[in-house]
Amino acid sequence: MPEETKSGCCCPGVEGNEGSATEKRLGWQEYFMSVAHLISRRATCTRGHIGAVIVRENSILSTGYNGAPSGLPHCNESNCRIYRSIHPDGTVEENCVNTIHAEINAIAQAAKHGVSIKDSDIYITASPCIHCLKVLINVGIKTIYYDKPYKIEHIAELLRLSGIRLVQVNVQSDQRG
């Protein structure tokens, strides 16, 4: 049986292609933030879907999303257990007892598989809470890229003291997973 051959390629700007010369290749920041948004779709928390990607030298080291610990029941309307804490400035923070945040899950996955994340960066669909930021400081994250701000005023001082960079990266909704 003769093989069917096809001339041309799918690369934009090359004769015989199927792509468009106007398609824009994603930059690294948009690429990793889009991956974080795709990963957030696995989240099991009913209050919010957050995704995280830990990266070093443009390679993905680990990913995580928010939800219950492995093998434990996921949250739903009847078992989402909220606790409240009060910040020194008087604002109230609400968190679910059952949920592990995306950043912590990404760190845990790296540890589970023996992957060093020291001197890496993290892409998160929302800026980290103060608790996650403290852990990110301790594991040696250098830059935090985020899409949507989340109570940034609570983490500003820790960012300043730690020297970790916080960079907002917005991605178009059609670039999200």
pLDDT in tens, 124-172: 999 999 999 999 999 999 999 999 998 888 899 999 999 999 999 998 7
- Rounded mean pLDDT, 6-34: 68
The Cβ of residue 11 has, within 10 Å, a number of other Cβ atoms equal to 11
- Reported in sequence order, the residue ranges of 21-162 that DSSP labels E, i.e. its strands, are 51-56, 59-65, 82-86, 92-96, 121-126, 143-148
**Is residue 132 within 8 Å of 111, Cβ to Cβ?**
no
Helix (H) or strand (E) holding 30, with range, is helix 28-40
Tell me which of 82-86, 151-155, 171-175 is least confident.
171-175
Least confident of 21-25, 58-62, 88-92: 21-25
Is 132 part of any known ligand binding site?
yes
CA distances from 107 to 55, 84, 117 (A): 11, 25, 8
The overall average pLDDT reported for the chain is 84
Which tokens is 152 given? Answer: 């940034």
Active site residues: 103
Superfamily of 28-67+100-168 according to CATH:
Cytidine Deaminase, domain 2 (3.40.140.10)
Q: Is 129 labeled as ligand-binding? A: yes
The domain locations on the chain are: 28-67+100-168
